[in-house]
Amino acid sequence: MSLAASHPLRAHGTSSSRLVRALMGTRPEVVPVWFMRQAGRSLPEYRRLRARAGSMLDACLDPDLASEITLQPVRRHGVDAAIFFSDIVVPLLLAGIEVEIVPGRGPVFARPLRTGADIAAATRIDPALVLERGERVADAVARTTGELAALSHERGESIPLIGFAGAPFTLAAYLVEGGPSKDHLAARRLIHEDPVAWRSLVEWLAALAGAFLVLQVRAGASAVQLFDSWAGGLAPADYRRAVLPASAAALDPVRALRVPDGVELEHVPLVHFGVGTGEILADMASIGVDGIGVDHRVSLRDAVARVGREVTVQGNLDPALLAAPEPVLDAAVGSILADGLAARAHVFNLGHGVPKETDPAVLTRLVRTVHEWRAV
């Protein structure tokens, strides 16, 4: 399937944005920067909106709210890309899985998938429902990209929207446990106890995630990131055998989309990110992604040595440093930017999400610092 000529990659020039150029291997003069979880619990304007928005999932499925929350950090901080405001469980919700995001805890499922029979019943749900029921998500994306086009005109630099989805293992970890877990023991156990059921589950979740990514790209996202928050809890051999093929499958539907005629890209840029994944970075990069997210536990130089120079690195400031004195923060930022020169290109980001207690002024100053930095 081809993306429409009206897609932002062509119509809004996002294919030549700093972010997209960096992800595709061309190092822009100014290092692009965005923040994970940037829509941020740290912004007072976000908290004011959320206070009257009902539940988290209500906000995710309200096109006006989701769009406005996505745009807030772009206006406030001057970042080079927006990350769509949603949640990794939204495709499950669209597919009819009962889930609630409990404040202070996270996603909780009414019916955990704890047996082969549970998994068999769930995986009979058609992943195409994500596309069929995703009108409000697509509406939010389209509204956002329209606003980003206007902001791009004011700024003189194209600002793309990044779509995202949760990776199959992270989604499975929540589903099998019934909610958040410190060790994801139930999911790890299922890999070994019932490998057939496990494979069925992650293949189905890959189809759901892929549909959710395609939904966002068709509506206007110019790049996508697959988040695997809990993959770092797996032994590398188990990750390669039981998880990585499903992660690759989640990205395949986006890879198959044809970019609009006149856009000099082979495909929509793909980023793969996980937490605590230093030992499996090379595996994560091996599935044909353009960018690899690196958390703060591994230096970018070490990451490049592991993944090679055929992929862009993204990261990787420790979020804790956002509370450090300015000289300490500046030194850390300078070190990361210098390390990023080891890669073909670098997208500055945190090693994980923005902590909710972060002073927004620190993030704004950080963006300016990154933009003003030049290699000596």
The two tokens of residue 322 are 């956002």
Q: What is the DSSP letter of 32?
A: P
Please give the single-letter amino acid code of residue 72.
Q
Exposure of 175 by Cβ count < 10 A (0-12 exposed, 13-18 middle, 19+ buried)?
buried
Annotated catalytic residue, options 41, 136, 255, 344: 41
DSSP code for 282: H
Q: CA dist 159 to 15, 121, 176, 177, 304, Å? A: 10, 42, 38, 38, 26
316: cis peptide before it, omega within 30°?
Answer: yes
CA 130/CA 127 separation, integer angstroms: 6
* From 10, 18, 21, 50, the catalytic residue: 50
* Residue 188 annotated among the catalytic residues of the structure: no
Does residue 290 have an active-site annotation?
no
- Give the integer Cα–Cα distance in Å for 47 and 45: 5
Q: Kind of pairing, strands 99-102 and 106-109? A: antiparallel
Of the candidates 10, 18, 46, 87, the residue annotated as catalytic is 87
Residue carrying the six token digits 């106890």 = 193
Find the catalytic residue in 46, 174, 239, 283.
174
Which residue is catalytic, options 37, 114, 241, 301?
Answer: 37
Phi-psi region at 13: left, alpha or beta (left = phi > 0; alpha = psi -120 to 50): left
Which residue do the tokens 């446990």 mark? Answer: 177
Residues 6 or more apart from 109 whose CB is under 8 A from it? Answer: 97, 98, 99, 174, 175, 178, 179
Tell me whether residue 174 is one of the annotated catalytic residues: yes
Q: Is residue 37 annotated as part of the catalytic site, yes or no?
A: yes
Q: Does the annotation count 295 as an active-site position?
A: no
**Which positions are annotated as active-site residues?**
37, 41, 50, 87, 174
